[in-house]
Amino acid sequence: MARKQWSPLKVAALQILSFSFVHQALAQSCAANYPPSVPVASDTATLGPVPAPNLDTSDPVHMIPASKASLYYGSLDPERSHKAALGSVNMNLELNHDTVVLEYIDAIESVKCTNASVIVAFKNATGFETALQSWSLEKNLILITNHLGNCDTEFERGFFKVDKIAPNQSNLSISCKATKQPITKIAETCELAFSSVPAGKLGKRLTLNPSYSIPFSKSLANNTVLLSEPPYLTVTADEAAFSSEITFSGYLYFDFWAFKLRELYFDIDAGFSADVALSAHLAAAYDKSFTYNPSDLTYTLVNIPGIVQLGPGVAFGLEMDLSASAAVDVVAGLSIAMPNGNVHLDLLNAANTATTGWTPTYHPHANISAQANVQANASATVTVEMALSFLGGLVDLSSGLTAKPGIANTFSLDAHFDTELPKNATAKEITKDLHKRGPSCDDGVSLKSDFTFSLDAFATRSWSTTLVKTGIPLWDFCYQF
């Protein structure tokens, strides 16, 4: 039977340009078994030893062995000064023997290492005598080096356990019988804090400040075919563009004495935008749901050789649910921006995971070409994942979140129909043309549309929880002919 054609109807609907919500009621945590994502490194930034901030290396107190040591790591690439700030990592160690960090002592002239010794030469007799007096009191001593050569490799520090010292007054040097040790053998606890806020970036954390801003954008070529099931269905991405910037901070506390990870959390500030327009050609009544993921997670790796490797990853996807009672062409799309999403992810305790922000602005649209009952839902997904490998895999975990904004449309009509939320519409201008839908909508056009948003957090192979799940009615009306 031939389709009954009508001239296009222009129907405006109530626009909600923006709304805000704060939803922190956590859903009950449940067991999950997320497989680890395959990292695809788009860039690697290596952080190496950097001077301790505001430390006076002329102070003789740094020659005296102490049970705790703070070490700092940052970018050593001069070109990075012209790029986005990468932040720094602060490592606090509590060691099983008293320790001296040699780079914190200005009185040292040179440090030379062999397989069995560390030889420290001093600039003057005062420095030599102070070091000899304090080091001689230690049965065992740990020296931390940052002098290359045989002491340590590039981007790393060396850790040496000293069993015996031998002074040489004539050349103001102390020879230490020593063996190189891994951190796991000499540390009782280790704390890692990712700190140093990029200028002007989200400076609202009270405990740890965001360290790394990772911009990421991606788009699909126009008219990319996402799904083809001849002769019944073809789904095309008329437009699909994504952009995001992720800033993160975090904290790790490992107890070597108990061999247990005591604390691990990330704070993620995520902003993203998406423009998605999907069209579907259905040659007959059809029902189909599908997900399109164009790539694996793409990581920008932040690496401190021998200590920790961090990987903030981003992935985007498209989803569509289609159901039609007859042959029809359908378009559904959404422009969305969420510049201020914040999530605290506690990998060891899901109950401490919480979120704020996620205030969207959006502009959805949809249309349908013929007499049919149609369900056309379109959504974009963005997944942010943080992978961490500590001390060569001693701790190897990942955690993240998936945000999913979308538009849900239900049509019932007898003519070509399209609807779009006008960017500058007001309630008075548009409500005069609308008839609220009652129990039925005979001989007319009905449309029900909702903006949907969900936010899920997860720790790989440990837990998952839903932080936000909401639906905002956009319009629900009947236009009778």
Asked which of 190, 207, 229 is the last residue of a domain, the reply is: 190
Whether residue 1 is contained in a domain is answered as no
Same domain assignment for residues 36 and 53: no
Same domain assignment for residues 31 and 166: no
Whether residue 19 is contained in a domain is answered as yes
pLDDT at 60: 93
Q: Do 421 and 13 meet the contact criterion of CB atoms below 8 Å apart?
A: yes
Same domain assignment for residues 364 and 431: yes
Whether residue 207 is contained in a domain is answered as no
pLDDT tens digits, residue range 195-216?
542 322 222 222 223 344 555 6
Same domain assignment for residues 79 and 226: no
pLDDT at 113: 93
Q: What is the pLDDT averaged over residues 354-366? A: 84
Q: What is the pLDDT averaged over residues 43-51? A: 80
Of 168 and 385, the one with more pLDDT: 168
Whether residue 334 is contained in a domain is answered as yes
In which element (H, E) is residue 192 found? strand 187-195
Range of weakest confidence among 22-31, 181-190, 413-422: 22-31
Same domain assignment for residues 281 and 400: yes
pLDDT band at 401 (very low <50, low <70, confident <90, very high): confident
Same domain assignment for residues 236 and 104: no
pLDDT at 368: 77
Same domain assignment for residues 259 and 401: yes
The whole-angstrom separation of Cα 343 and Cα 351 is: 13
pLDDT tens digits, residue range 103-116?
999 999 999 998 89
Share of the chain above pLDDT 90, in %: 25
Pairing mode, if any, of strands 40-49 and 66-75? Answer: antiparallel
pLDDT tens digits, residue range 270-326?
888 888 888 888 888 888 888 887 665 556 667 788 888 877 777 888 888 888 888
Q: What is the pLDDT averaged over residues 239-258? A: 84
C-alpha 357, offset from chain centre: 16
Same domain assignment for residues 26 and 54: no
Q: From residue 37, how far is each of 40, 61, 133, 311, 332 by CA, in Å?
A: 9, 47, 54, 11, 30
Question: Residue written as tokens 């065992």?
Answer: 140
Most confidently predicted of 96-100, 252-256, 276-280, 356-360: 96-100
Same domain assignment for residues 377 and 233: yes
Range of weakest confidence among 45-49, 311-315, 428-432: 428-432
Whether residue 199 is contained in a domain is answered as no
pLDDT at 27: 25
Same domain assignment for residues 272 and 387: yes
Whether residue 241 is contained in a domain is answered as yes
pLDDT band at 101 (very low <50, low <70, confident <90, very high): very high
Same domain assignment for residues 335 and 266: yes
Question: Residue written as tokens 């740990």?
Answer: 142
Q: Cβ-count burial of 221 within 10 angstroms (0-12 exposed, 13-18 middle, 19+ buried)?
A: exposed
Whether residue 322 is contained in a domain is answered as yes
The overall average pLDDT reported for the chain is: 75
Number of domains in the chain: 2
Same domain assignment for residues 262 and 348: yes
pTM of the model: 0.71
pLDDT tens digits, residue range 51-78?
898 899 999 999 999 999 999 988 776 5
Share of the chain above pLDDT 70, in %: 74
> 168, 124, 169, 160: which is closest to 142 by C-alpha?
160
Containing domain of residue 183, as a range?
49-190
Whether residue 200 is contained in a domain is answered as no
Contacts of 256 (CB under 8 A, 6+ apart): 184, 187, 188, 189, 190
